[in-house]
Structure 1
């Protein structure tokens, strides 16, 4: 009987010790960011990290539901980490062009505090929406940025300076949000483009 009680105690202690702390989740977010940044030129890897951080956000939500296992400060931290994980999912999808996501500017900035991408304003106050570039290593993405409180259907054109390479597109861009326009994944040396002829139709 004593052996049975001892065995049960060991099992219970073992399971309880498996509880993941906010620090564990924080480390996992950082690990996903490292993988995303190092493998960003690989679209399949980008999609993999997007799924990984989505799964992690769900794990954090499950931990929050078991509130009795954490103190109040840990619950606050878990909620912050969940918000950051969801923002990172949208950031990876939009910047990495591996998902049709339109992150809010707030979520974009929240995620980038962890990612540390180089963000540069390319077009500011010239058209109805602005354009930013986001650089991570050799990868460069251009995003439309809607700083207004209006929802737009945006049309645009782009070209590579001193080249015949051109393109155009149409996209919806919600209020106070960003959305992918172009990246150099298929042509790594083609980092610099000019975006012009931007027009907006409110919806």
Structure 2
């Protein structure tokens, strides 16, 4: 991938995440008035907040990518592509047509990252599977929270899931901060929804996988040039 393509991938992800956050805000604020443009959702507020959370995850990944635009390793590409893929795909089911542009931008950015170094990305995913699993479980918590009927549970679930999903990837910067984010992201929401069974189980799995990931410091930024 040449320098021009590198910049395209980075800025495409950044713009897609920013537009996705805007789409989530619009969905939460006036989704009921937009009809098919917002997916004709019966309860657009939690879906809008979920979209904002996922867009925040994609934006975080895009900012990491922007800082490493000159020499990203396979691990950086894998983390960024994963965040952009998850946000890009889930968003199509949360805000309808409002997601067409941000979703296309995020998926294009993810495809660019993977195609630039497929072997490096595959190797990084294989090595960092606890972090990848933790990210998936964090998104799972966010999806469960979108069905909550109380604002407190909704907010705790979405932002808690976001904290869980990002915890392993910030471990190399600060292990205590990553561990705190993992615990505060998983435990309160699971405790308040203990009767559902699925939420405590998901949180327990996230804690186990996240702890393993943090111990191994599975942070893509630490992966060197050899993984490209």
Higher relative contact order by CA 8 Å / sep ≥ 6: 1 or 2? 2
The bucket for the TM-score relative to the shorter chain is 0.3 to 0.5
Structure ID, larger Rg: 1
| Structure with a larger share of its residues in helix | 2
More strand by share: 1
